[in-house]
Structure 1
């Protein structure tokens, strides 16, 4: 008997197929039952960028290692004979690094006399159609991104926080890596000089998709100084004020954009291939650059939608960064002015101890108009003043300076505290100063062992007697704030003997949201002072107890008299 049943399965008639489909515009490949190529037409060669000879006798996985040809689907077609179609996308070995292509492939089983001979795959390139779909999907996601930008970027008056918010906002929707770099402030002790011609920026924001985080960590996080050569994308963007797109197809392009040549290999290792840099500009002033980077299978950036959206987001963020810079400058000016006026007051007479503190309520709080002073009077007496101008910022600090100067002038007439407040209230009204202020005046007479006190809308003083189990919160009439023109102040005489500490403060020490201020003031009754204790130690205890929960600036002035 002839062993025909052991003969190899017949192969498809390649010659006939070639005659039929050789000139087809669709790419056609014929595979045998072992899924090895036995024929590809010219269109298929063009799709893969490889000649027919490179295909024959090899599997799709051998020839197109970079492309997922969905062998699972191929095996199902081979098994049940039902035709199936798949969409695959990748770049072939002959494509540039930044090019990603898409194909629609339909698989059909070929059989004869009940025997499976193999498969025919018909492939059509749909890169343009797929790109259009992806572009439309990106457009939709970008619209949603722009709609939510205002609520996510610039949520504080901190420039670096805004830069970080911008970086995090665009990853992963627009980029795999986002870097925000700003021009550093002038000066900066201890900083090395940049290389000649290099652009120095400070990295203020960085966001990256999780799979690239480890590889990107070595390049410097937020706060690092980065020097870019003149040809780098960031430097050119900063110089021209225009977006720069670079698809990094080869090492020449990488070397041009990298801050240092040794980074090229590292960039390659994590698959970076496309960069767009857009300027951060506010009121015509360059502030920095937003750089978006794509890696791996992410599509390259284009001149159209990618740049428009990136530039729009960068422009919005730049306005917020500029506001933060202006706020920080105003904050510094106001703080410097206030501190210059709140230097430790001079000791008005011998036998008097004085200590003070001023604590702004954190970096984000706007400086207020707190002030204090100590003024010598006739007969060994002295006047202590604690005030708080309403409002914040430079204007409040300047108004505080005016109040302080006027009060010092009036103190020379040696009037009772309530008369000083009355005259000051009228003077403020005449001067046109448009900021009201609270004020507490205490005149200490060591010889008599008393303290005359008057308040214009200010919290009452506290007296801490040496060795007493608790402090005395003064009960005094409180008149209207200065600058209202209402007048109506009165003086209260209180005991203040040798060793007694007079404790004066602004409402920032005690005022808490949701709590009655009278309850907060009564809490000061828990202050104690051992005989001979240091005033500075008392201030330290006040800071430990109250500073962490303060919502406004704190100013405290404490004094102690020895016997006359």
Structure 2
């Protein structure tokens, strides 16, 4: 009914609804290749033909990419390249139907924003010729794709900068004394981060002793990583005075509580003394360390737990335990054991139920521990440090007899 206004309105409404539906199928992810595939698929469907992409600045013999529909319906690629180069300088938002030298109609439109040209959308079909509506629909599809490709590239650029910055922030622990074997693992939660607020540190002290530290800054991502570096820097400065672990925590707490923008953190410090065969531990709201004995059994060391760093409350205490070359000490952040909807006591029990080979080295200890606790599915960042006192030559020789 060409003369019926209500019929014309209904027809136009149906076309607009179909166009809105088509547009919603472009840019569903931040992946550029996916967006190109969505563009050609939707354009081919809307034009009842085929669609493909030409990259900008291509050679005369350039071939189509990301084809949607039947490639046989597309114009000769050399014609499309020539058309794209002719129109690139004008950055036209649309294009009148163009002949490719064949009987089939063809259409070229730039996929571009105001600043950047990302490629050319090429459409072809058997019949009929492309109408003004077809041109405007393809132009709208191309604009939609260009907007999302710009977002995808900007996201990739920013993500790359964040990754580089996180890599800079992730500083490996210092070297312990040669009388101590160390293994360290960092496992940030999720796939987009390189480092979060969990950290490990080792500091050489006098008389062959080494300070081992793990900490966990509240929160995740880059912000937590920035605060983590501040904690590590302050720790190194304080540790140079060779104070007992509880006094190191007290001074850290004094510093952080005076910085209102600094995030609170938990922290565990262990001072290992191979000569005396002992370890002194102190905790600021952190989980206790684990010890693996000569039989490969795992237990937790008792340690007085003070408030997290940054509260200004202080009240930290140290406790001394025996530690010899037959034992492996493991310090870890809560992401290693905690699981959603599980009581922390149950989580720690899973850790103590792990068994290890008696001759296991720190690297092997961490491999076994991370596998046994299914760390690949952890819900929080993980930092874990394993340390084992190296047996003295005389002790190693005596152990052979």
> TM-score normalised by the shorter chain: which range applies?
0.7 to 0.9
Q: Does 1:412 align with 2:268?
A: no
Query: Is the partner of 1:415 in helix, strand or coil?
Result: coil
- Separation in structure 1 between the aligned mates of residue 37 and residue 307 of structure 2, nearest angstrom: 46
Match of 2:106 in 1: 273
- Separation in structure 2 between the aligned mates of residue 517 and residue 411 of structure 1, nearest angstrom: 31
Instruction: Name which of 314, 322, 337 aligns with 1:510.
Output: 337
Q: Does 1:302 align with 2:128?
A: no
Alignment of 1:30-69 (within 5 A): none
Q: Does 1:559 align with 2:384?
A: no
CA contact (8 A) 1:461 1:503 kept: yes
Q: Say if 1:248 and 1:431 are closer, same or farther in 2 by CA, change over 3 A.
A: same
How many residues in Structure 1 have an aligned counterpart in Structure 2? 386
Match of 2:118 in 1: 288
Query: Is the partner of 1:418 in helix, strand or coil?
Result: helix
Q: Does 1:172 align with 2:32?
A: no
Structure 1 gap ranges (5+)? 1-103, 105-124, 184-193, 220-225, 253-267
Q: By how many angstroms is 1:354 displaced?
A: 0.8
Instruction: Name which of 165, 181, 201 aligns with 1:353.
Output: 181
Instruction: Name which of 338, 361, 371 aligns with 2:199.
Output: 371
Match of 2:145 in 1: 314
Can you list the C-alpha shifts for 1:199-257, whole angstroms capped at 9, x where unaligned? 999x6xx4734xx3x869xx9xxxxxx99997453x667665543536352238xxxxx
The two structures have a TM-score, normalised by structure 2, of 0.78
Q: Does 1:208 align with 2:68?
A: yes
Q: By how many angstroms is 1:366 displaced?
A: 6.7
Match of 1:525 in 2: 352
Moved more, 318-327 or 459-468: 318-327
Query: Is the partner of 2:355 in helix, strand or coil?
Result: coil
Q: By how many angstroms is 1:158 displaced?
A: 4.9
Match of 1:335 in 2: 166
- Separation in structure 2 between the aligned mates of residue 200 and residue 399 of structure 1, nearest angstrom: 50
Moved more, 285-294 or 422-431: 285-294
CA contact (8 A) 1:158 1:364 kept: no
Can you list the C-alpha shifts for 1:460-500, whole angstroms capped at 9, x where unaligned? 211111223x2012343433332233333332323322221
Alignment of 1:47-446 (within 5 A): 137-146=14-23, 148=24, 153-155=27-29, 158-161=31-34, 172-173=45-46, 176-177=49-50, 206=66, 208-209=68-69, 212=70, 231-233=82-84, 241-245=91-95, 247-251=97-101, 273-279=106-112, 281=113, 286=116, 288-289=118-119, 291=121, 293-297=123-127, 300=130, 302=132, 305-307=136-138, 309-311=140-142, 313-314=144-145, 316-318=147-149, 320-339=151-170, 341-342=171-172, 345-365=173-193, 367-446=195-274
Q: Say if 1:296 and 1:174 are closer, same or farther in 2 by CA, change over 3 A.
A: closer
Instruction: Name which of 360, 363, 384 aligns with 1:536.
Output: 363
- Separation in structure 1 between the aligned mates of residue 157 and residue 8 of structure 2, nearest angstrom: 43
Can you list the C-alpha shifts for 1:43-100, whole angstroms capped at 9, x where unaligned? xxxxxxxxxxxxxxxxxxxxxxxxxxxxxxxxxxxxxxxxxxxxxxxxxxxxxxxxxx
Q: By how many angstroms is 1:278 displaced?
A: 2.5
* Larger of the two Rg values belongs to structure: 1
CA contact (8 A) 2:105 2:130 kept: no
- Separation in structure 1 between the aligned mates of residue 314 and residue 88 of structure 2, nearest angstrom: 59
- Separation in structure 2 between the aligned mates of residue 538 and residue 430 of structure 1, nearest angstrom: 39
The two structures have a TM-score, normalised by structure 1, of 0.57
- Separation in structure 2 between the aligned mates of residue 426 and residue 360 of structure 1, nearest angstrom: 28
Query: Is the partner of 1:408 in helix, strand or coil?
Result: helix
